[in-house]
Amino acid sequence: MLFFFPDSQKPCESKENSVVRFSPQCPVDSVIVESTPVPERTSVSWTSVEDYDLQSLLGEGGFGKVYLAQHKCNGKKVAIKALKKEGIKATKQVSRLNLERSILEEAKREKNPFLVGLFASFRTEHHLCLVMDYCAGGDLDSYFKHGAFSRERAVFYAGCVVLGLQFLHTRNIIHRDIKPENVLLDSDGYAKITDFGIAIKTMGFDGKTMSKCGSCYYLAPEIFGNHGYRKSVDWWALGVMIYEMLLKQMPFNGRNKEKIFNSIINKEPKYPKKLGEDATIIIKQLLRKDPDMRIGSSERDAEEVKECSFFKELDFEALSKKQINPPFIPKQKTPGCFCKFRHPKQVVLSSEQYKPPLIFVEKAFEDFDCFVEC
């Protein structure tokens, strides 16, 4: 569950546009395209909803949904995140969305294999669409139904996350929501960090933020304080994630969120022998309550974490070049696997039933469209 605390400070073509409606079935069996005139803009082959066959619903959140789609010309499968313009504007999330888009864009331009990247972004009449990498293996959380991960898999996935965080942290970006649900497996079995919706950019190594947000079980203790926090909250979350991968249980628990928060702030996890010495050491170093004593908190950041004995058998140089055979190759899931609704309602990207967006809403997103050469 994602939390935004009450006291948080939020950073925080002469061609026509298309209105797309999906049939009630999922996967999507048919798409009805209705033309709605919009102001003329440059036509780019990736920046219109007409460029894609929309196949199924991958998931949904507060302001929109994520669809599996296939590019009509080259057959490339992508994930399209469609967000409601008015919802983003009304909740003052414009700057966050722009940062999310810029992170996705830079990840793609730099060809970083450990972050989900952006192919394009575009607008429909009522929605903002991000066209992103599609990771056919799904998220790590979905694999816990088969039990805890082997040490080999846990080391490999943690290593991928370390390299992804290194890319972000060198750019003074804190992810703030590292967890298995936000780590996806591509078709090769490599892990990619996704969901930069609450990421924030700080000013240099010592840059702090005060906004209190994140997912309950993965929050670092300093987030609850009044002195701000730095990038080391991401390393704390990695420690929780390693513990979870190896034991299929959380290090901090409680019957409600208040008890979970109390456990995070005041209690220490149990370290069963089956964790092994190397895993116990790195988890303890990542879950130090004092952020200044936590591994990864110095200016060396990820380099400190890489030196842990937990990673002694992992060649980070080879990993960064995708020269290591992943310990697990996921079966590619069919579109129908992603429909989470027994009786899905009609899915609409835009519709004539909506009033045209207000001018001030449209103006907030006038620079949103882009295409990333890759």
pLDDT at 363: 64
Highest mean pLDDT of the ranges 19-28, 45-54, 203-212, 312-321: 312-321
Q: Report whether pLDDT(143) > 80.
A: yes
Q: In whole angstroms, what is the distance from residue 126 CA to residue 20 CA?
A: 11
Mean pLDDT of 246-263: 97
Residue 341 binned pLDDT confidence (cut-offs 50, 70, 90):
very low
Closest C-alpha among 192, 191, 210 to residue 200: 210
Mean pLDDT of 130-137: 96
Lowest-pLDDT range of 16-30, 120-134, 318-332:
16-30
Q: In whole angstroms, what is the distance from residue 173 CA to residue 107 CA?
A: 12
Percent of the chain having pLDDT more than 90? 66
Residue 261 binned pLDDT confidence (cut-offs 50, 70, 90):
very high
pTM: 0.83
186 is catalytic: no
Q: Residue 166: phi, psi to the nearest 5?
A: -60, -45
pLDDT at 28: 35
Secondary structure (H, E, C), 331-363 = CCCCHHHHCCCCCCCCCECCCCCCCCCCHHHHH
Residue 173 binned pLDDT confidence (cut-offs 50, 70, 90):
very high
pLDDT at 32: 33
Q: Report whether pLDDT(26) > 60.
A: no
Q: What count of other Cβ atoms lies within 10 Å of the Cβ of residue 12?
A: 17
34-43 pLDDT per residue, tens: 333 443 444 4
Mean pLDDT of 166-179: 98
pLDDT at 365: 67
Amino acid residing at 72: K
Q: Report whether pLDDT(50) > 60.
A: yes
CB of 257 closer than 8 Å to CB of 199: no
Q: What count of other Cβ atoms lies within 10 Å of the Cβ of residue 86?
A: 15
Q: Report whether pLDDT(29) > 60.
A: no
Q: What count of other Cβ atoms lies within 10 Å of the Cβ of residue 79?
A: 21
pLDDT at 334: 55
Q: What count of other Cβ atoms lies within 10 Å of the Cβ of residue 36?
A: 15
More confident: 370 or 348: 370
Q: Report whether 81 belongs to an annotated binding site.
A: yes
Q: Report whether pLDDT(211) > 80.
A: yes
pLDDT at 138: 95
CB of 278 closer than 8 Å to CB of 246: no
Lowest-pLDDT range of 27-41, 101-115, 303-317, 356-370:
27-41
More confident: 4 or 103: 103
Q: Report whether pLDDT(358) > 70.
A: no
What tokens appear for 111 in the block?
A: 């060809």
CA dihedral (21, 98, 321, 80) in degrees, to 10, reads 0
Neighbouring-strand partners of residue 84:
127
Closest C-alpha among 372, 346, 349 to residue 66: 349
Q: What count of other Cβ atoms lies within 10 Å of the Cβ of residue 284?
A: 14
Closest C-alpha among 64, 82, 104 to residue 195: 104
Mean pLDDT of 297-312: 98
Residue 25 binned pLDDT confidence (cut-offs 50, 70, 90):
very low
pLDDT at 370: 81
Residue 33 binned pLDDT confidence (cut-offs 50, 70, 90):
very low
Domains within the chain, CATH numbers bracketed: 13-136+336-366 (3.30.200.20), 140-320 (1.10.510.10)
What contacts 24+ positions apart, CB below 8 Å, involve 265-269? 265/221, 265/224, 265/289, 269/243
Q: Report whether pLDDT(125) > 80.
A: yes
CB of 15 closer than 8 Å to CB of 43: yes
At 83, which helix (H) or strand (E)? Answer: strand 77-84
Q: In whole angstroms, what is the distance from residue 134 CA to residue 207 CA?
A: 33
Catalytic residue of the set 51, 133, 177, 195: 177
Lowest-pLDDT range of 139-143, 164-168, 367-371:
367-371
More confident: 361 or 7: 361
